[in-house]
Homo-oligomer: A and B are copies of this chain.
């Protein structure tokens, strides 16, 4: 165990996700358990630059494991993209005797951490927190499981009304570059079709699929669409296109939006957050730096932060086939 780490700073950065508070709690309590100090840094890197720090002890994180959002707040910091900003941030850390950072966030946040580490050789460990599940080196990011449940619960409600009126719904979910949410929530919600950024199914196949769905006797249909799907039309253009080509369909659009980022975390996300938070602190105490902690093949593992940032998280192609089969 490294003798050097006496005080850890923890921050959340980028889009918030359910489970971030559980991870903060785990970092704070693992610090207390190992008798080191822990400082909460507010509003991500911006708060680091502005010195928005607060000492945290085991009791500071009471009753937050089940809260969505992040008690440390989050922000995107333009200042941290400048050398001056990072210099000021480093100065603040030194003045507060902070020896190491735990950064909870996504790729952008990790990139910030990497650059900071390169410039100041400052120990950094990343915890993957984003609902998009688009981070290399972990099968699950914090908040992803909760977001999936939020999406299927909402589509279950939409299905009630779709089914009562024999309607077709286009439901847009988050995922500008990654189809994880659309693909998994689409299967979970029993969607007839799923459009994702990773695959271009083409407009013809969509029409074809909807025709088949009607022919097979289905009384209503749900199409789940990731924000960044490859089909080249936004969801309202898509609605118009389908209604022109399949006049038998009455299409409704629902854009789920930011509700997907919030909510009480699922048990899975809380447990994952607890494990990753403990591992992050103990990795620093072992004298290691520049790693992301993650869950891969049922085990908590370390991935070099650089690899995490550069690597590309892949959707499971098998799921596309499963979706085709179970939506028959």
Residues of chain A touching chain B, judged by Cβ–Cβ distance below 8 Å, are 12, 15-16, 18, 20, 25-26, 29-30, 32-33, 58-59, 62-63, 65-70, 73-75, 139, 145, 148-154, 156-166, 169, 184-185, 187-190, 216-219, 252-255, 257-264, 266-268, 270-271, 274-275, 277-278, 296-298, 300, 318-319, 321-328
A326 touching B164 by the CB < 8 A rule? no
The answer to whether A297 and B298 touch (CB under 8 A), given A66-B152, A160-B263, A267-B185, is yes
Instruction: Chain B residues near A300: list those with CB within 8 A.
Output: 318
Q: How far is the CA of A246 from the CA of B256 in the complex (A)?
A: 26
7 pairs across A/B with beta carbons < 8 Å? Answer: A25-B190, A63-B163, A68-B161, A73-B164, A145-B266, A149-B266, A188-B268
B184 touching A267 by the CB < 8 A rule? yes
Closest partner residue, chain B, to A260 (CB atom)? B157
Which one of B30, B74, B151 contacts A267 once the chains associate, using CB atoms below 8 Å?
Answer: B151
A70 touching B326 by the CB < 8 A rule? no
Which one of B59, B154, B255, B271 contacts A184 once the chains associate, using CB atoms below 8 Å?
Answer: B271
Would you list the 4 A-B pairs with minimal beta carbon distance, nearest first?
A: A157-B262, A68-B160, A160-B262, A69-B160
Q: How far is the CA of A15 from the CA of B252 in the complex (A)?
A: 13
A149 touching B328 by the CB < 8 A rule? no
The answer to whether A156 and B326 touch (CB under 8 A), given A165-B75, A166-B73, A258-B252, is no
Count chain B CB atoms within 10 A of each CB in A33, A162, A259, A278 and give the residue with the most. Answer: A259
Q: How far is the CA of A243 from the CA of B192 in the complex (A)?
A: 39
Minimal beta-carbon separation of A155 from chain B (angstroms): 8
B263 touching A157 by the CB < 8 A rule? yes
Closest partner residue, chain B, to A68 (CB atom)? B160
Closest partner residue, chain B, to A181 (CB atom)? B267
The answer to whether A65 and B145 touch (CB under 8 A), given A258-B158, A259-B154, A262-B161, is no
A152 touching B59 by the CB < 8 A rule? no
Minimal beta-carbon separation of A258 from chain B (angstroms): 5
B73 touching A25 by the CB < 8 A rule? no
Closest partner residue, chain B, to A183 (CB atom)? B271
Q: How far is the CA of A259 from the CA of B68 in the complex (A)?
A: 21
The answer to whether A326 and B258 touch (CB under 8 A), given A187-B271, A268-B148, is no
Minimal beta-carbon separation of A10 from chain B (angstroms): 14
The answer to whether A156 and B328 touch (CB under 8 A), given A169-B258, A298-B298, is no
Which one of B73, B258, B263 contacts A156 once the chains associate, using CB atoms below 8 Å?
Answer: B263
Q: How far is the CA of A286 from the CA of B140 in the complex (A)?
A: 31
Which one of B161, B218, B323 contacts A62 once the chains associate, using CB atoms below 8 Å?
Answer: B218
Closest partner residue, chain B, to A266 (CB atom)? B149
Minimal beta-carbon separation of A127 from chain B (angstroms): 14
The answer to whether A325 and B150 touch (CB under 8 A), given A59-B217, A267-B185, is no
